[in-house]
Structure formats: C-alpha cells, structure tokens
Chains A and B, each alone.
Chain A
C-alpha cells in the first residue's frame, strides 16, 4: 500500500501520511491505523519508516549534546544556563573548575558572570531534573571573544553538512574558528569583526535555503564574491 505523500512533500501537523504496515518515525505519531505528521516539515520514507524532516522545531537536550549556553543566574555553587531549551541547565562549580570552589572566600561570579557564554556538554537529563552540563573536557569552556548567532536548531545538520562538509567549507573560506552548538547557537571567532560578520551572513543564508539543491556551490560563490569585493 503506498504512502500518502510524494518524497520531500511539505506536510503540516495532522496531515495523514500513511496507513497500515508503516512505522511512525521522527516527528510523526500513530493513531489507530494511520500515521500523522506532528510538525511542519518534509515527509520522507526510509525503508518502512515514515519520517518528517522538521522545518521548525524546539530543541530538547540529549546527553552528550555539545551546546552554546548563556549564564542567566548565579547560585553559590552553580550557574543556571539558558540553552534555548524548555529547561534551564545547571552547571555545577565542580563541572567548570578544576578545584573545588571555596564558597567562604570566593564568589562564583568571578569565574562566570551573568550574560557570559560557555560551550558545554550535557551530562545528564531526565524528565524529573534539569539538564546538567560540564565544561571540563577538551574544546569546552567559557567563550572569551567572537560572535554568537542563533539559528533554528533544525538547520544544525545542514550547517554542519554530510560528514562535516559544509562547516569545513565555512572554516576554510573564512579562516575563522566556528562551533555549531546542537541547540542552534553558533560561535564564530575570527581576526576581525568583519570576518565574523561574513560568516554569520553565510550561515543565515544556509538557514534560509537549507532544503534547496546546489547550496554548497552558492555558499562557495558567496565567499568568492565577498573576497572580490574586499
């Protein structure tokens, strides 16, 4: 029995995708004999599973996700961090500092203040507790300089690209350090602000055109144009 859609057809919440023997995959749900879409996105069939590639989504943390967070509150031995999720994450002092925090003599704010940003990894998260973060690993820690932009988190895979192809292209063409957080925040660090702005523009272009063909070529052309213009 065929499905109810063309490959990569735009579907909306409640669209009936298939019935009978298929499995409900990403962003779908099954009720009775029918499989429905639960978000707006592009429907596709993979083997016997019906998936919807989301065009709009809400980031939910998973253990081992590396994210870019913003400190919103300082408690005596921890920081509360906004990670653009339904829940604020907690970063305990022992997951940030290499030695314990002496709360009698030291103020957590001197290490990380409200508004500062970190690259951190989610180490735990379940339905009853806030997500918990660590920065005590290679590549993680406080962000000292650069620009951070926010993109729709559903575009993160496209910004990274197949086997990292897109992000490698961005790094090569711009000479900037770039980190794409799973939560849709991207950190860009270059020699000048203008360099960072060019990368930010490229990323916004990818965000807008994520599901078009020939995007990689257009991004390459974009950098060429920027260099010629300089």
Chain B
C-alpha cells in the first residue's frame, strides 16, 4: 500500500502549496475526494450504506425497533446515533469503549439529522405513551484516511434514506395489550410474520409490507480544516495532523443551518466563521448530487412545505 507523506509535515509546506491553490494529493482547496456510496449492503438491517470518501471507509446500519417512548414525548419516535472507531481503521485506535473523538463524531452527526427534523418522529408512533419506533443509527469506521465526520454523516444519511420500516395496519395499532404487539413485532429478518396455515398444514412466513421512513429534510454536512488562513475542504489525514482547527457546518435543503461544530483548539475570527458557513452552503448541492437519494425522498422533502401548519 502506498501513501504520500510530506516529510517534516510542517504547516509551512502545506501552506506554500496552498498559495497556488494546490494540495498534496493534487486537489484544489475546495475539492472533495472521490465519493462512492453503496446502499443496502446489510440485508438484515432495516437500512444500510457503505461509504468510501477517498480512502476513508465507513459502514452505517439502521435498525428500527419498537420501544417505549420518552415520557416527555409520548407520541414521538426515538432516534439515536452511535459510532464505533474500529481498531483496524487506524494504528491509534485502541480497542475499548468509544473515546471522546468517537463520541463527538456521533453527536455531530446526530445533531445534523435531529435538528433538521429529517425523520418526522411524530409519524413514528405506534401507540401513544406505550410504543413507538426507535431508530438506531450505528456508524462503524473501518479505515481512517481523514474526514471521518462527513463520511459518517453521508453514510448515516444514505442508510436512513435506504431504510424500510414495517407498515402496521389499523388492527395492529388498535390492540390494547402492547405486549402482544411486541411479540409479533420482534425483528426477525425482513420483519417476517410467522403464522401457521391450517389450510396448507404448515408454517408460512409472508413478508410484512414495508415502507420508507417519513423523511422531511436532507441535511448535508461539510467539514473543512483551517490551516493558516485557508480552508481545506474534506481534509485528508495529513492535513488533519497539522490543522489549526476544524469546522463542520450542516445545511438543510431549505438553505438553513441545522448544525455546526468547531473542533480543535485553534481560534477563528468571526469573518472566518462566516467564510466557513459560506463554503458549506456552496457545497450543499454538489454533495447532494453525489449521494444516492431515492426519488420518493426528494418528493417527500419538497411536499413538506405544503403540509406545514
């Protein structure tokens, strides 16, 4: 495996190159690396996506299960984001519970999804106060070549857009005894319902009907490294090693900012913050066009303006 180092990785050399608008790997300061997204890679999960962003490789899986709601939001579904920095992804990743960088990544990705109201959690209620759909989004970092936040965010986004949840009919929802529903809704692969057919004299497993998640927004994160007075979009591992600070800005389809995170100690002027936001805004369409977004999701996002009341 070959990698390109800059010996004596000093900011000076990276900054010199940047004066002519170039980076170590030949990109311009505003270029993303090659982005490949495959969805549905884990059939047993309700949704999944594998992302290659340059050499960075991330797999996200979505599991949707019925659980008790939070007491302060009895009629809303629950969403959680978790990230695992797998040891094989980089020599500095030690085995063990998530370290602070992993936790920060999960929370930044979560903020983008949650604050944009990407999933209409009010439509994820089964039985108010008793049972709601909980969406678990788990992101696994398998190869670290820089910009884990964006790779994780795109994987989580694509997995959610790929996800299918079981359709419940009126009779399921009317049931009072929620414990019976839980038994029937135990997530077997493909949410198969097992019933015994007297006529056929054997057990059959017809598949439940499934539908996409109720999507209302498409949040896209854009991360950049600040080195000296310049921003480097989609930083590589080398660039992250020398950056003064890192900015992640997440925009929604409506052109609103729904999440922002500055990482690393180096300070920024307010003008630099504004510049970072502007860069993220201009990158939104480009990234969105490189992600596999189903037609129905695009339609649903457009349609939400109509039922805003």
A and B from one complex: yes
Interface residue ranges, A against B (CB under 8 Å):
70, 113, 115-117, 142-152, 187, 193, 197, 200, 203-204, 207
Looking at the assembled complex, report how far the CB atom of A23 sits from the nearest CB atom of chain B, in whole angstroms: 33
Using a Cβ cutoff of 8 Å, how many contacts connect chains A and B? 44
A197 partner residues in chain B, CB cutoff 8 A: 26
Using CB atoms, name the residue of chain A closest to B6.
A147
Given contacts A193-B17, A197-B26, contact A148 B8 (CB under 8 A): no
Residue-by-residue, is B6-49 near A (CB-CB < 8 Å gives 1, otherwise 0)?
Answer: 11110000000100001000100000000000000000000000
Contact status A145-B3, CB under 8 Å: no
Using CB atoms, name the residue of chain A closest to B26.
A197
Q: Chain A binding site: helix, strand, loop or mixed by DSSP?
A: mixed
B170 partner residues in chain A, CB cutoff 8 A: none
The one of B2, B3, B7, B22 in contact with A187, judged by C-beta atoms closer than 8 angstroms, is B7
Contact status B7-A150, CB under 8 Å: no
Contact status B3-A150, CB under 8 Å: yes
Q: Does B5 contact A (CB under 8 A)?
A: yes
B2 partner residues in chain A, CB cutoff 8 A: 149-151, 200, 203-204, 207
Contact status B9-A115, CB under 8 Å: yes
Contact status B17-A147, CB under 8 Å: no
Contact status A144-B8, CB under 8 Å: yes
Q: Does B203 contact A (CB under 8 A)?
A: no
Looking at the assembled complex, report how far the CB atom of B32 sits from the nearest CB atom of chain A, in whole angstroms: 20
B1 partner residues in chain A, CB cutoff 8 A: 150, 152
A150–B3 Cα distance when bound, in Å, is 6
Q: Does B4 contact A (CB under 8 A)?
A: yes
Contact status B17-A149, CB under 8 Å: no
What are the 8 A-B residue pairs with the smallest beta carbon separation, nearest first? A117-B7, A143-B7, A148-B5, A116-B8, A115-B9, A149-B2, A148-B7, A150-B3
A4–B274 Cα distance when bound, in Å, is 70
B17 partner residues in chain A, CB cutoff 8 A: 193
B7 partner residues in chain A, CB cutoff 8 A: 116-117, 143-148, 187
A155–B203 Cα distance when bound, in Å, is 60
